[in-house]
Amino acid sequence: MRKKIKWALLGAVFCAAAVIAVASRPAEAKKSIAPGTLIKGKSIPTVYYLGEDNKRYVFPNAKTFYSWYNDFSGITEIADADLYLYPLGGNVHYKPGALLVKIQTDPKVYAVGANGMLRWIKSEALARKL
């Protein structure tokens, strides 16, 4: 029983030390990167959008990225540890109006709207217009 208590206390001390180390890190990284910036870690290939809420939003795939940007220029590379200072905010959705979506099991065609919402295109003429 004493060994279990000893290991539990030792684990708690290590966890507390880790929390203190992260909490005491200077926040210069957060202050130096403006919201709206594309960021990635030095050893992490994933690209994130830094939101106004200081959260990072992940581009889940290249198609989503290219619906917003033409190329990968303008991405700010930061230290992996600094990247983790920004909490995850969620996924970036396709840019509204950037593409039409056809689902194999559904005869309808949809346009991508705000927040990734799919909106049914009711006529071929409207689809051509979009």
pLDDT, position 20: 44
30: Cα separation from own chain's centroid? 16
The per-residue pLDDT for range 3-15, each reduced to its tens digit, is 544 444 444 434 4
**Residue 1's pLDDT band (boundaries 50, 70, 90)?**
low
The reply to whether 77 and 31 lie within a common domain is yes
Q: How confident is the model at residue 17 (pLDDT cuts 50, 70, 90)?
A: very low
Task: Look at residue 9 and tell me if it is in a domain.
Answer: no
Residues 62 and 82 grouped into a single domain: yes
Both 49 and 66 in one domain: the answer is yes
Please report whether residue 1 resides in a domain. Answer: no
Query: How many domains, in total, are found in the chain?
Result: 2
Decide if 78 is inside a domain: yes
Q: What are phi and psi of 16, to 5 degrees?
A: -60, -40
pLDDT of residue 31: 53
**Single-letter amino acid, residue 70:** N
pLDDT in tens, 91-130: 999 888 777 888 889 888 888 877 778 888 888 787 777 6
DSSP strand E in 2-127: where? 38-41, 48-50, 56-58, 75-78, 88-91, 100-102, 109-112, 118-121
